C-alpha cells in the first residue's frame, strides 16, 4: 500500500485516504493537513468537509440538507502534490442539475473553501485529475451568453490550469476564453 501511495505522489496525485463507515480521511503529502469527509448517514450520503492542521480544525463546510434531497455528496477528492489545495467535487443528492458538477477547493494560503463556479463556466463532470504541483484538469461546458440557448448550445471542453492562478486572479474566463 505504501509503495502504491508513493507512486501516486510521484505522478502528482497524492492521495492518502482512509475510510471508516461514512468517514473518509485525506492526509496532505506534507503530512501537516488532513481533510475529513463525513456523510450524514447510511440513508443520507450528503457530505460535510472539514480541514485540519496538526489536529486543529481550520474550516468546515456542511453540505447537508434537512430533507436529504437538496444537499451535496462528495464524489471525488484529493490534495495537490504541493499540499496547498484540497479539491473535491460534488453532485446534488436529489439529482438536481445533473448536467453540472460542483467543484470546490480549500486554499491553504487563503484558509478558505472556494467554489470553481465563481471563476469558470459550469463544470460538466465530477471527475478531475490533479497534476504536480497544483494543476487541475477537468471538463467544463463551453461559455455561453444569455442571448443564446444556454447549455443547449454548449459543448464539453477539457481545460487544465493552476489553482494558484485562480487564487491570484490569473486564470479567468476572459483569459481562458479570450473570444468571449
Instruction: For 105-131, write each residue's pLDDT tens digit.
Output: 999 999 999 999 898 888 998 999 999
Residue 5: per-residue pLDDT: 40
Q: Rounded distance, CA 157 to CA 93, Å?
A: 25
SS3 call for 167: helix
Window from 53-67, 83-97, 106-120 with minimum mean pLDDT: 83-97
> Which grid cell is 124?
460538466
pLDDT digits (tens, 9 = 90+) for 16-44: 444 456 899 999 999 999 999 998 777 77
Whether the Cβ atoms of residue 68 and residue 46 lie closer than 8 Å to each other? yes
Instruction: Look at the alpha carbons of 85, 8, 75, 89 in this order and tell me if their dihedral is positive or negative.
Output: positive
Total structural domains in the chain? 1
Q: Any idea which residue has 489545495 for its cell?
A: 85
Nearest residue to 10 (alpha-carbon basis) of 97, 81, 83, 59? 81
Q: What is the pLDDT of residues 121-172, one digit of tens each?
A: 889 989 999 999 999 999 998 876 555 555 667 788 999 999 999 888 866 5
Q: What CATH number has the domain bearing residue 153?
A: 2.40.128
pLDDT of residue 168: 85
179 Cβ contact partners less than 8 Å away, ≥ 6 residues apart: none
Rounded mean pLDDT, 59-87: 91
**What's the CA gap between 69 and 92, in Å, rounded?**
8
Q: What is the pLDDT of residue 81?
A: 98
pLDDT above 70: residue 174: no
Q: Which domain holds residue 103?
A: 2-176
Q: What is the pLDDT of residue 129?
A: 97
Residues 6+ apart with CB under 8 A from 98: 91, 92
pLDDT at 55: 94
CA distance 1 to 23: 20
Amino acid at each position: 500500500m505504501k509503495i502504491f501511495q508513493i507512486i501516486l505522489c510521484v505522478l502528482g496525485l497524492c492521495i492518502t485516504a482512509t475510510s471508516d463507515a461514512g468517514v473518509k480521511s485525506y492526509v496532505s503529502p506534507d503530512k501537516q493537513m488532513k481533510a475529513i469527509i463525513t456523510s450524514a448517514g447510511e440513508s443520507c450520503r450528503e457530505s460535510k468537509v472539514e480541514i485540519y492542521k496538526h489536529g486543529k480544525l481550520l474550516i468546515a463546510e456542511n453540505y447537508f440538507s434537512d430533507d436529504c434531497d437538496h444537499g451535496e455528496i462528495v464524489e471525488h477528492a484529493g490534495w495537490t502534490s504541493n499540499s496547498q489545495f484540497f479539491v473535491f467535487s460534488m453532485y446534488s443528492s436529489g439529482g438536481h442539475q445533473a448536467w453540472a458538477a460542483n467543484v470546490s477547493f480549500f486554499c491553504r494560503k487563503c484558509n478558505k473553501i472556494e467554489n470553481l463556479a465563481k471563476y469558470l463556466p459550469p463544470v460538466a463532470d465530477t471527475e478531475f485529475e490533479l497534476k504536480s504541483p497544483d494543476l487541475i484538469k477537468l471538463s467544463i461546458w463551453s461559455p455561453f451568453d444569455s442571448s443564446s440557448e444556454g447549455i443547449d448550445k454548449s459543448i464539453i471542453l477539457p481545460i487544465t490550469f493552476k489553482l494558484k492562478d485562480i487564487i491570484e486572479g490569473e486564470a479567468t474566463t476572459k483569459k481562458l476564453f479570450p473570444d468571449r
